[in-house]
Amino acid sequence: MEPDSGKVIRIISLQYNPDTLTRTFQVQSYSEGTDRAEALRLKSSPVETIKLEAEIDATDQLEFPDQHQNIVDNGIHGQLAALETLLYPTSEALQNNHEQAGRGVLEIVPMEAPLSLFVWSKHRAVPVRITEFSITEEAFDTSLNPLRAKINLGFRVLSVNDLGFKHRGGSLFMSYLKNKEALAGTVGSATLNSLGLEGL
């Protein structure tokens, strides 16, 4: 989406839901055991990373070539390109920077990419930065268009520490955190007796 306006530029849907999703949290503690008075303090939200493996397969579409002419002509190039372009500045932005450099502009502002969101059910819609991306193409047609591929994706969830509270991504992160807190509240608390304790 566009960070300022919130306009959705493109939605890329995975063809199949991955079997597994790995999430890792790196705690942002205030002190690493050096100050007892600060042992329970947190600097910020943990750094959350997400990893998954997705598959794209054109086999089903090729059974009905009249309905999927793009797949017949190009294989899954289009689906792969849609994901790959998340990593690139636009050709227009590159050309614009090149022209500015040619006019003698000394400082060119780095290009801002659109805000990427990872949506995994209504409970997880988070702003992310892609940190890992690899594609293994496994089958090809006679024109060497890929027909099947495995994609490994790694994301870093962007929090208010990365984007700020006023940024659209920051507000999306806050919604994600509030939703997480609400879900945690739906689970009852165990009693000390259930843990074999009479008191603490």
pLDDT one-digit tens code per residue, 43-88: 888 999 999 999 999 988 888 888 888 888 999 999 999 999 999 8
Q: Mean pLDDT in runs of 10 for the chain (200 residues)?
A: 87 87 89 68 89 92 84 92 90 85 76 88 93 95 94 96 92 94 89 85
Predicted confidence at residue 70, as pLDDT, reads 86
Query: What per-residue confidence (pLDDT) applies to 18?
Result: 87
**pTM, rounded to two decimals:** 0.83
Can you give the pLDDT at residue 60?
83
Structure confidence at residue 35 (pLDDT): 67
In angstroms, the first-to-last Cα distance of the chain is 50
The pLDDT value recorded for residue 155 is: 96
